[in-house]
Amino acid sequence: MRNTDKMRSREGHGGGTPDLRLRLGPTYEPAGPGGPPRLREACGVIGVYGNTNDAAIQTYFALFAIQHRGQESAGIAVGDGQRMHAERRMGLVSRVFSEHRLARLRGNVAIGHCRYSTAGSSNASNIQPVLRSTDIGPMALGHNGNIVNALALRGETDEHSLDEAATTDSAVIADLIASAPGATMLDRVRQVIPRLSGSFCLTIATPTQLVAVRDGMGNRPLCLGKSNGTWVVASETCALDAIGAQYERDIQPGEIISIDDDGLHSVRVELPQRHATCAFEYIYFSRPDSIIDKSSVHTVRRQMGRHLAQQHPVDADLVIGVPDSAIAAATGYAEEAQLPYADGFVRNRYIGRTFIEPTPRLRKLGVRLKFSALPEVTRGKRVVMVDDTIVRGTTQASLVRLLREQGEASEVHVRITSPPIRWPCFLGIDIPDPDELIAHNQNEQTICDSLGADSLGYLPAGRLVEAIGQTADHLCLGCFTHSYPIDVQLRFDKFLLERPENLQTAMVFPREDTIDRNESALLNDD
């Protein structure tokens, strides 16, 4: 039965009732102890500013293209010149939005977000875009990255969340902007950005304006495109392609883009950080058809494979890649090694992120659900298996076993297109504590033995940098080298903002008053 009770509302900053409409869906629980067996990126962001009222439709299709960046929740917020409307729910983009929900989102400015939680739990109160009321009007904010000084900054803000008290660094940024001095949104953003330490790509929408920001390191990708008078901002260029927008350029580190009826305006903020694009954008996260800092991801991955073949040759019969991110690298390895390439695995593409992975046994079962081997390809063969990373080793050990048992391979040689991951990430990737990383205190031979492989070879950091085509001082390699572009702590707690001892100022509504688990709840529906 539909819940018609309205969510309890609060006064926004400045004393006015926020003119925002919000719908929330059912809550998912976060992944079990141990977290995901593979790396997960923080999120994907989209921003659209056009001359028609279909900005939400374009945002919706663009979000599909970057679904790989976040599969826990999705949302779109739209400005119609006077007010803002939003649809935000747990789940994939295809589950969150229907035709009738999109029909409610009419306006010429929109931002979209898909999330994987690297700060804060995976629940409805942390869905983005984050919504805030300010004394200059409503705003919505989407964030990709991690703010390492979020706890200190939250102590300087007032909790005035419009939904249940959010426990993310993204909510802290929104609160800072909402309470900052300045007559315009651009003024407030310029005040806040220098205070943020960490990685952040932001999209901010008001009823009449779109603002986009990339941090001074350029740690996460953010690009600008245009189509028939419509401006588009996106985490990856593949989102531009999805809606027929022409890639214009990358938004530069420390650059703020503002788009309104007067056109596009660019402002640079001088920040102390060096340029440090995350190397994993090239290795794993970004789609192969994307371009990052003028480099084709597909081309870079092929080069990684070529360098890997030069560094770690092996007598073998064929090369296979672990779908999907390692396929380009595997073909590069095969070309350089002059070995045949073959599809040795079939991937079940209907298996998304597994939310329940509490035990090693279930993680191994999850690999069996996602992959199967092709014995007609690998039977009796000496196989080179190319993959992008080894985190705990659970996935690779299961794949090696799968090739031997189901695929009947005579030998399995594992080749990895990144260096050993020895240290956690603090800038937007869910890399576990050091003790959970198989390479943190084990050498390559020990890792090889634990995988059950005949040999193991990693791509050294120097070769990785060469394959990317950047210089080492333009990349973040901290999880490989323990040399980070900013000061960080060794232990990072993604739930830091949720710890009771850190929540003295938080104002939390009872869940039953804010979210109906079966039907959407409506805030300020008039």
From 43, 114, 448, 476, the catalytic residue: 43
Closest CA to 45 of 89, 19, 13, 77: 77
Residue of 346, 316, 309 whose CA lies nearest to 410: 316
User: Do 23 and 73 meet the contact criterion of CB atoms below 8 Å apart?
Assistant: no
- What region, left, alpha or beta, does residue 267 occupy, with left being phi > 0 and alpha being psi -120 to 50 degrees? beta
- Token pair for residue 498? 């949720």
Nearest C-alpha neighbor of 366 from the set 390, 340, 394: 394
CB 487 within 8 A of CB 112: no
Taking a C-beta distance cutoff of 8 angstroms, is the pair 240, 68 a contact?
no
**Strand ranges in 422-519 using DSSP code E only, listed in sequence order:** 455-458, 475-476
* Residue with the two structure tokens 């609160």: 175
Task: Tell me the CB-side half-sphere exposure of residue 350, using CA atoms within 13 A.
Answer: 0
Q: DSSP state, 452?
A: T
**Encoded tokens for 73:** 């929740």
What angle in degrees, to the nearest 10, is found between the helix axes of 297-311 and 327-337? 40
Q: At what angle do helices 461-468 and 297-311 cross, to 10 degrees?
A: 140
Element (H, E) at 369: helix 360-370
Catalytic, 278? Answer no
Residue 273 to residue 486: CA distance in whole angstroms:
7
The residues annotated with a catalytic role in the active site are 43
